[in-house]
Structure 1
Amino acid sequence: MKIEGFHIPSQISDLDLYYCGIETVVDSFTCGPFIRDKHLIHYVIKGKGFFECRGRRQPVQKGEIFAIYPGELTYYETDPSDPWTFCWFAFGGRRTKELLLRAGVSVEDPVRGIRDGSGIPDQISLMIDTLQTYPSRDLPASRIHGALYTIFAMLEVSHLASSPAFNSRTEAPDYTGKALKFLETHYQNPISIKNIADYVGLERTYFTKQFTKATGLSPQRYLIKYRIEQALRLLATTDMTVGQIGKSVGIPEMAYFSRLFKKVVGVAPKQHSLTVQADRTPAPV
């Protein structure tokens, strides 16, 4: 038995759903080898099987997830003696890399157990029901986004609870996670990298090295990227002026804001704003 729902996001946001589903598989189930163009996460509700990526074959059983990354050749199959029941969702968006990092999975280490994933199928069922109940023009996007963020919250909490840092005072705390939360809470203020390093309790140079290793971006580049992402959100959802948006995301100097925006997005904020306004304008009947 297989139940699916499909979604085409109207615009890129922090987190988008493309499709999701729940399936009880037969004892001969296999999938692939395939290369996907979206990120996927599968959660095994019961049963066991195997997942292969980059030549590595790993067992996956009840209570575990496996993550599929775009551009990677993957293959998975159920164990005929104990077939899978699993659910899945395909997603993307500007926060994809960060959320996967917080969930504790990577392309090199795509399989992990979830301490309490029993709520994941419920959230996927909610998304399927929403997609099947409402036409696309009336889709309550907040329900979709709420379910997605709830799933990632479960994954993050499970990852933190299973980490040595959580269970042993002798281990170093999660400096990067703490820094990300500080940055995302205070990005509207005139914060510096030293402010963030001081908050997490590390010397600035060492903090920068650890943050860059964990996220792939220096703290300064991550802060700029995050501020511009929030500016894009405001341009798409409000009627604020470019100057007001720059101030709202912590870059009050309009010329500097415009220069950073163009460097990240490829066009000036005013030009992007005109494009957004044109997309909002209904087509003539």
Structure 2
Amino acid sequence: MVNVKYTNSQEYRSLEDLSLSSMELDLVHMGKEQCLPYHACSATREEYIIHFIISGTGFYSVEGVTYSISPGHMFLISPGVPTVYCADVNDPWSYMWIGFKGLRTNAILKQCGFSKNRLVLPSPDKDKLHQCFDELFDHVVQDYAGSLFREAALLKLMALLVNTHQEFLKQERVQDDYLGKNQHLDAAIEYINTHYMKDISVSDIAEHIGISQGYLNRIFNERANMTIRNYLLEFRMYKAANLLVGTNLSVKEIADNVGYTDQLVFSKAFKRQFGLSPKNYRTYRYSLENL
């Protein structure tokens, strides 16, 4: 019997170098890690990887789109797709991950709710996740029985993800019924999507829809767990982050492109969001992608 590569420390625990035993669905590696501030990974993988955020925050960037990730989220990395993900400087995340491959992966991931345009989803219950990972870590011997135990535990984890997505869809339908499909929310988001580059305010959005600012804020708090002002701010900041990395526009030009007439006000808002000035963020992201 041969042990797999097993690491166990307070900050980092992992199983790696697993020999493949099933063509249908097989665990390649897995682990848990408490990351340091700005701990970053930039790579193109040969397997699928799902990260489950347990605490802290960070960002995940893929194909020119940047996502803000927080506890209760999970995100998918696909084979052959360059990605960058990084822990926050003030509140670095801890996460668990699984790397896997096999003929059934596409069908299973679809049932979990993942798609090309939906790479970040609500994560399962934290205690249930820990239980699945503990079962996987209980079998570190590279023999036939160990591989069967890991395969069973991996299938159990995937079933948990599918059930989580089904519950999410059910809650979404109930919420939509309760809010009458919320045409006001959809109209507000559409207005922001098409007018964020202009100097619009919350009052402009509410006036366009024909409701009060207070009612619009209640809708956003119920559905998005944030105020509409914060939604507009975050929308603009992540558009700006994508422009900083994906274009050679100056900071002033990017500020203009996301609805800020004052470059200084934009830079302060950007630094509050990401912990870096726009110029330093661009330099840092370029350095990550050239690792």
Q: TM-score range by the shorter chain?
A: 0.5 to 0.7
* Contact 1:16/1:92, CA 8 A, preserved across alignment: yes
* Contact 1:51/1:75, CA 8 A, preserved across alignment: yes
1:61-108 Cα offsets, whole Å, 9 max, x none, are 111100000000100011111111101010011110011001001232
- Distance, in Å, in 1 between the alignment partners of 2:161 and 2:20 is 26
2:137 to 113, 123, 128: 128
Instruction: Report the AA paired with residue 85 of structure 1.
Output: S
Cα displacement (A) at 1:10: 4.3
- Distance, in Å, in 1 between the alignment partners of 2:40 and 2:103 is 31
Query: Corresponding residue for 1:204?
Result: none
Query: Corresponding residue for 1:84?
Result: 93
Cα displacement (A) at 1:170: 9.7
1:27-65 Cα offsets, whole Å, 9 max, x none, are 121111x11111000001111111000110001111110
Query: Corresponding residue for 2:33?
Result: 23
Instruction: Report the AA paired with residue 35 of structure 2.
Output: V
The alpha-carbon distance between structure 1 residues 37 and 164, as it changes in their structure 2 partners (threshold 3 A), is: same
Cα displacement (A) at 1:155: 1.0
Is it true that 1:108 corresponds to 2:114 in the alignment? Answer: no
The alpha-carbon distance between structure 1 residues 148 and 10, as it changes in their structure 2 partners (threshold 3 A), is: closer
Instruction: Report the AA paired with residue 157 of structure 2.
Output: I
- Distance, in Å, in 2 between the alignment partners of 1:138 and 1:102 is 29
Instruction: Report the AA paired with residue 36 of structure 1.
Output: R
Number of residue-to-residue matches in the alignment: 167
Instruction: Report the AA paired with residue 12 of structure 2.
Output: K
Is it true that 1:162 corresponds to 2:168 in the alignment? Answer: yes
Instruction: Report the AA paired with residue 19 of structure 1.
Output: H
- Distance, in Å, in 2 between the alignment partners of 1:115 and 1:15 is 20
User: What's the TM-score, normalizing by structure 1?
Assistant: 0.54
Partner-residue secondary structure (3-state), 2:143:
helix
- Distance, in Å, in 1 between the alignment partners of 2:148 and 2:126 is 22
The alpha-carbon distance between structure 1 residues 10 and 47, as it changes in their structure 2 partners (threshold 3 A), is: closer
**Structure 2 unmatched runs, 5+:** 1-10, 178-291
- Distance, in Å, in 1 between the alignment partners of 2:58 and 2:82 is 18
* Contact 1:67/1:110, CA 8 A, preserved across alignment: yes
The alpha-carbon distance between structure 1 residues 150 and 55, as it changes in their structure 2 partners (threshold 3 A), is: same
User: What's the TM-score, normalizing by structure 2?
Assistant: 0.53
